[in-house]
Amino acid sequence: MKDVFHSTAFKILVAVVAAMFCLMLYTAGAGDSATATALGLITTPMQRVSAIVANNAAAAARTAAQPKEELEAENRRLRQQVEDLNKKLVNYYAYQQENAQLRKFLELKNDNPDFKLVAAAVIGRDPNDLFGQFTLDQGSRAGIALNDPVVTEAGVVGWVSSLSAGYSKVTTFLAPETKISAMDRVSRETGVVGCDIRAADRSLLQLNYLSAGTAVKAGDLIVTSGIGGIYPRNLIIGTVKDVKHSTYDVSLYAEVEPAVDVKAVRDVLVITSFTGQGEALSPAGGKASSSSAGGKP
Closest approach, Cβ 65 to another protein, in A, equals 14
Which phi and psi angles does 22 have, rounded to 5°? -65, -40
Note every long-range contact of 275-279, with CB atoms under 8 Å and residues 24 or more positions apart, other chains counting.
275/114, 275/232, 276/226, 276/229, 276/232, 276/233, 277/229, 277/230, 277/232, 278/229, 278/230, 279/229
Tell the smallest beta-carbon distance from residue 73 to another protein (Å).
27
What angle, rounded to 10 degrees, do the helices at 8-30 and 34-64 form?
80
Asked if 261 is part of the footprint of another protein (rule: CB under 8 A), the reply reads no
Instruction: State which residue, 176 or 276, has the beta carbon closest to another protein.
Output: 176
Q: Binding to another protein (CB under 8 A): which residues in 181-200?
A: 196-198
**CB closer to another protein, 9 vs 250:** 9
Per rule CB under 8 A, is residue 36 in the interface with another protein? Answer: yes
CA 116 centroid distance within chain: 17
Q: Is 288 in the site for another protein (CB under 8 A)?
A: no
- Out of 4, 65, 94, 212, name the contact with another protein by CB under 8 A: 4
Binding mask 116-145 for another protein (x = CB under 8 A): ------xxxxxxxxx--xxx----------
Q: Is 292 in the site for another protein (CB under 8 A)?
A: no
Beta strands in 173-220 (DSSP E): 180-184, 190-194, 205-210
Which runs of consecutive H residues, i.e. helices, occur in 31-138?
Answer: 34-64, 68-85, 92-111
Does residue 51 belong to the site contacting another protein (CB under 8 A)?
Answer: yes
Closest approach, Cβ 58 to another protein, in A, equals 6
Among 43, 112, 140, 239, binds another protein (CB under 8 A): 43
Q: Hey, what amino acid is at 206? A: Q
CA–CA gap between residue 178 and residue 293 (Å, rounded) = 9
Whole-number Å distance between alpha carbons of 136 and 153: 17
Strands 168-172 and 134-136: antiparallel
CB of 186 to another protein, least distance (A): 29
Start-to-end Cα distance in the chain: 46
**Residues within the interface to another protein (CB under 8 A):** 1, 4, 7-10, 12-13, 16-17, 20-24, 27-28, 33, 35-36, 39-40, 42-43, 46-47, 50-51, 53-55, 57-58, 122-130, 133-135, 161-162, 169, 176-177, 196-198, 201, 266, 297
